[in-house]
Amino acid sequence: MNISLTPSQTVGPFFNFCLTAGKNCVSTIAGPEAKGERVHLTCRVFDGDGLPLDDAMIEIWQADAAGKYKHPDDPRAGTADPACSGFGRMGTRRDGSCEFETIKPGRVPGPHNSLQAPHLNLAVFGRGLLKQLYTRVYFFGDAGNQEDPVLNLVPKNRRETLMALLSSDGRWRFDIHLQGETETVFFDV
Amino acid sequence: MQLKNGSKAVITPYHRPQPGSQPDSLYEPYKSTIRRAPSQPLVFLPHTLSEITGPLYAGSELAETDNDLTRQHPGEPLGERIIVSGRVLDDNGRPVPHTLIEIWQANAAGRYAHAGDQHPAPLDPNFTGAGRTLTDENGAYQFVTIKPGAYPWLNHYNAWRPAHIHLSIFGRAFITRLVTQMYFPGDPLFALDPIFQSIPDEKARQRLVSRFDLETTRPQWGLGYKFDIVLRGPQATPFEGIA
């Protein structure tokens, strides 16, 4: 490392005519032809007063159903599912929510021959966020969660903040609390 | 790490940001951080494939005027034409090729083409203020636009943002993602702006100030400004597994 980094600044409140306008707004991470279990995901973002953020942006990056990333640094990228782009980006609405259509990713290799549990990598941007916040979305009840090397770095009593929950209408829900008793775990990446 | 097919994946972790180079999440003079910055410590995450990969943009959807914000409408926008160019590098000094840069900004009067912007300054029917481009194989990029105006905001009494252009850059990995703002040299509002001042290190702050450049200034047409962007880069030596 010999050159100094460019500092981060907030995305501000007025990004949506650029970052989430038209085709730049990406709700479909994996199309209908993609292999794997369909996931309809609703994310919501709340501040320390429990108020929804209507001016946040969420980006998601994920592996395909076989746990492969569509990226040259994943040696298995050549056989990754072409119907799963892996990337989504949405602005939040007045109630702090946005939706993604995707599939449940497979298990991605982790350190020391481990396998990570299925997860989505998620970044939150917004007014008042001087740099994006990174978290992960795991799927409540997945058998892999117990042995996930990243979940095991998180204090037990906070792990549930990283769990998407399946609601009775078949949608997965993931609430992000920037502060408060149920503050979501954010990662230093 | 042993993959199912028997091949070994080599994980090259990325450098962590130098202390002081990035703002903390909480900077009380910027009031919106107070109820939005996490209060719990972040959990340190060793890099896995999930962190060192990220979306790569093909660029096939880019239109010819996407990087010229003065040619996106039938008429010319009002204001001072400028040419903003530079390179995207990683912190090893290597160019970041074919990466997507998106910009957005206020018009010359300091007004955004956004329904939520209530500043009583005129909108310009010939200026939206949004652009996109890909860096070339040397990491170079260029935008043509107009110089944005300063504008008031409600953070504190008589608060004004220095003129700035917002930038969003992907880089090679999900963790190289950068959203930032580019400022113009000599702005009298720097010392009064909590967003600019949120960066602890003065030298780091100055890296957000573009520099006037005569070489890219077009005679009888518009001023050139240079702005290089440095993203996190991979550690020098790849090694197997993590931590």
Which residue of B38, B116, B208 is in closest CB contact with A183? B38
Does residue A39 belong to any structural domain of this protein?
Answer: yes
Residue of B2, B32, B36, B210 to mutate, interface with A, max A Cβ within 10 Å: B36
State residue B5's pLDDT score: 45
Does residue A63 belong to any structural domain of this protein?
Answer: yes
Residue of B3, B45, B201, B202 to mutate, interface with A, max A Cβ within 10 Å: B45
A166 to chain B, closest Cα gap in Å = 23
Give the pLDDT band (50/70/90) at residue B236: confident
Does residue B196 belong to any structural domain of this protein?
Answer: yes
Does residue B5 belong to any structural domain of this protein?
Answer: no
State residue B7's pLDDT score: 46
Range of the domain at A128: 25-177
Residue B61 pLDDT > 90, yes or no? no
Range of the domain at B26: 10-37+45-240
State residue B239's pLDDT score: 53
Which residue of B9, B175, B205 is in closest CB contact with A75? B9
A161 to chain B, closest Cα gap in Å = 13
Does residue B229 belong to any structural domain of this protein?
Answer: yes
B108 to chain A, closest Cα gap in Å = 16
CATH number where A38 lies: 2.60.130.10
Do the interacting molecules here have an ipTM over 0.90? yes
- Centre a 10 Å sphere on the Cβ of residue A168 and count the other Cβ atoms it contains: 5
CA nearest B130: which of B167, B103, B107?
A: B103
pLDDT digits (tens, 9 = 90+) for B176-235: 999 999 999 999 999 999 999 999 999 999 999 999 999 999 999 999 999 999 999 999
Catalytic residues of B: 112, 151, 161, 164, 166
Number of domains in chain B: 1
Does residue B139 belong to any structural domain of this protein?
Answer: yes
Which residue of B11, B49, B61 is in closest CB contact with A23? B61
Number of domains in chain A: 1
Q: Which residue(s) pair with B11 in the sheet?
A: B239
pLDDT digits (tens, 9 = 90+) for A20-36: 999 899 999 999 999 99
| Ordered per-residue pLDDT tens for chain A, 189 residues | 689 999 999 999 999 999 999 989 999 999 999 999 999 999 999 999 999 999 999 999 999 999 999 999 999 999 999 999 999 999 999 999 999 999 999 999 999 899 999 999 999 999 999 999 999 999 999 999 999 999 999 999 999 999 999 999 999 999 999 999 999 999 999
Torsion of CA B161, B162, B165, B166, to 10 degrees: -40
Does residue A9 belong to any structural domain of this protein?
Answer: no
Mean pLDDT of chain B: 93
Task: Judge contact between A52 and A45, C-beta under 8 A.
Answer: yes
Does residue B2 belong to any structural domain of this protein?
Answer: no
State residue B154's pLDDT score: 96
On chain B, the residues whose CB falls within 8 A of the CB of A4 are 18, 21, 91, 203-204, 207, 230
Residue B6 pLDDT > 50, yes or no? no
Measure the CA–CA gap between B106 and B114, rounded to whole angstroms.
9
CATH number where B72 lies: 2.60.130.10
